[in-house]
Amino acid sequence: MPVSKRAGASSSGSETNYYSPNTAPKNWFRLLWVLLLIAMVAVAVVNIKPYVDAVRNFGVTIVDATLIKFISIIPIVNVIANILGVGVYWVIGTALWGIFQIIEVLPVILYNHPGFLEEVITDAENSKRYAIKDSDDPTIAILKKGYNKLPVGFIENLAKIRLVAYVADFCICFWCYSPVASGKITDFFWYVATGQWQRINSNNLMFALITLFGVEIALNLLLWVGKLAFTVKRASEPRR
């Protein structure tokens, strides 16, 4: 009987060890996720400067007094501005940067959200469609086209707005970190087309690309690590 008891205890212990989850991968994923988040915040802070410089050079000084009065009316914004010790250029530049970044990364977030994708697909599959007739009033025909595109129509419009935001963002980044001495975008494309790489400032080009795509790349990495960690967690759970 004692032998049988020891054998049973050994078997139970072996089974417990076999099914015990390994916490090491989880900890590594958490650490990697935190490091990526810190890197994303650092890139975001650095990327605000081109927008601040753009606002400063586009003659926003005319409305400085009005904006300062308006900001002073808002208690929360006023407190934050006083704590950070930033001027109106940084407030407007940060707001401008935030608008561009939200437009650029919103599709990334939406396309990585299973619940959102399922809802859109379900609505698209089950929504009613109106046939457009030649006898329809032009206004009714336009309304039917708009309704038939729902709910994917706003996603198409978001993609168009995102493209416009990237073009404007590219112009700001190119202006702040011009990879050519002349500062002309036509010279840059001419040097690239003719292979005159020595005339391109690689450091400025790198800063421009980081400013343009840094936050989106960091966000994609964060989402990728999160999905991978979730998959590993499910794989390490004991099967029932």
Q: Where are the domains of the chain?
A: 32-236
Closest by Cα among 115, 117, 111 to 223: 111
Q: What is the pTM of this model?
A: 0.67
Residuewise pLDDT in 10s, the chain (240 residues):
444 444 444 444 444 444 445 566 677 777 888 888 888 888 887 788 888 888 777 655 545 556 556 655 666 655 655 665 556 677 778 888 888 989 999 888 888 888 888 888 887 788 788 888 888 888 988 888 888 887 787 888 888 899 999 998 888 888 888 889 888 888 888 998 998 889 999 888 888 888 888 888 888 888 888 888 777 777 776 665
Check residue 62 and give its pLDDT: 47
Check residue 227 and give its pLDDT: 81
N residues, the chain: 240
Report which secondary-structure segment, H or E, holds 145. Answer: helix 138-149
**Token code pair at residue 106:** 């919103």
Residues 22 and 43: their CA atoms lie apart, in Å, by 33
Chain centroid to CA 222: how far?
10
Q: Which amino acid is at 209?
A: L
